[in-house]
Amino acid sequence: MQIINGKALAATLTEQIKNQVQAVVLQGKRKPCLAVVLIEGDSASAIYVANKQKACEKALIDSISIYKPASITQADLETIIQNLNNDKNVDGILVQLPLPRHIDKDKIINLINPAKDVDGFCTQNTGKLFENYKTNDMLFNSLSPCTPKGCIYCLLNAFEREGLSTDGKFLGGKSVCILGSSNIVGRPLANMCITLGATVSVCNSTTKNISFYTKNADIIIAAVGRAELVNGDMLKSGAIVIDVGINRVEGSNKIVGDVNFESISEVASYATPVPGGVGPLTIAFLLQNTLFAYLKTLH
């Protein structure tokens, strides 16, 4: 089994973004700017935001972090979003999820200007997932969700290493099984794979006999948040496995994915590790989305 090194891919992508930013700045333009809104209450979210800030620095993207208490009102959060929408020096807006229960998450997400929605979660941007994008346009010239983009980029890497075509519908003829149907990963990813020609099955918590679907899939993408759910017995020989899961082992600091990496090593052809797989690419594509949003303002 060959490993798809998401950390290395993300570093290369971040360097490319940095070079693009440098080229624009040398023309006398300002840097791109990402604004992140974090409501206190989730310790993991604070770590994610810190990682995003570090990534912005590497890519020469300015970042603004707005920290607010969990007691913030809906109206006050809406005012923050509106002010960022109206700020011509802010290109991307990200509201870190999850939000407190008293906040209407969907209303907040859809309040973000679609042209600044670098998470790709608002209704207008999710609707665009049904457009017939080519691979390159989907990844680099659209504001679509970052984790699904990271998954597609991993598949792209595997196909390129096999010397296979990655233009247009490069998943044509392939069977893809997605474990998880969230609005953040599973559903947008399913649309992307369909656009790229795949035959897609999406499993959720009520699916019976999940192995029936995984054993018939050329590609399995696990995004359910259940530690090491997928094992080698659930795969057909030569399958590509993309692991989106991030699960902390109880009583330790160890992080594992939704896939038992050791178990699949003798069966899969390619797989992403956890950590160091899709996670770094999620952040890299957040930077890419910010760059895309910024470049659109220069036209």
Tens-place pLDDT, residues 144-173: 999 999 999 999 999 999 999 888 899 999
Exactly one of 96, 117, 149, 258 is catalytic; name it.
Answer: 96
**Residue in the structure block whose two tokens are 């010397």:** 163
In tens digits, the chain (299 residues) has pLDDT values of: 999 999 999 999 999 999 999 999 999 999 999 999 999 877 677 788 888 999 999 999 999 999 999 999 999 999 999 999 999 999 999 999 999 999 999 999 999 999 999 999 999 999 999 888 889 999 999 999 999 999 999 999 999 999 998 888 999 999 999 999 999 999 999 999 999 999 999 999 999 999 999 999 999 999 999 999 999 999 999 999 999 999 988 877 888 999 999 999 999 999 999 999 999 999 999 999 999 999 999 97
> pLDDT tens across 106-133, in order?
999 999 999 999 999 999 999 999 888 8
Query: Residue type for 120, please?
Result: G
Task: Answer yes or no: 96 catalytic.
Answer: yes
The C-alpha atoms of residue 188 and residue 125 are separated, in whole angstroms, by: 10
> pLDDT tens across 189-218, in order?
999 999 999 999 999 999 999 999 999 999
Asked if the domains 29-113 and 145-278 are classified in one and the same CATH topology, the answer is: yes
Superfamily for the 29-113 domain: Leucine Dehydrogenase, chain A, domain 1 (3.40.50.10860)
∠ Cα 126 130 135 (to 5°): 100
Q: What integer pLDDT is reported at residue 179 of this predicted model?
A: 98
User: Span 145-278: which CATH code?
Assistant: 3.40.50.720
Task: Answer yes or no: 119 catalytic.
Answer: yes
The C-alpha atoms of residue 13 and residue 36 are separated, in whole angstroms, by: 21
The C-alpha atoms of residue 244 and residue 84 are separated, in whole angstroms, by: 30
The C-alpha atoms of residue 139 and residue 145 are separated, in whole angstroms, by: 10
* Per-domain residue ranges of the chain: 29-113, 145-278
Exactly one of 91, 116, 117, 119 is catalytic; name it.
Answer: 119
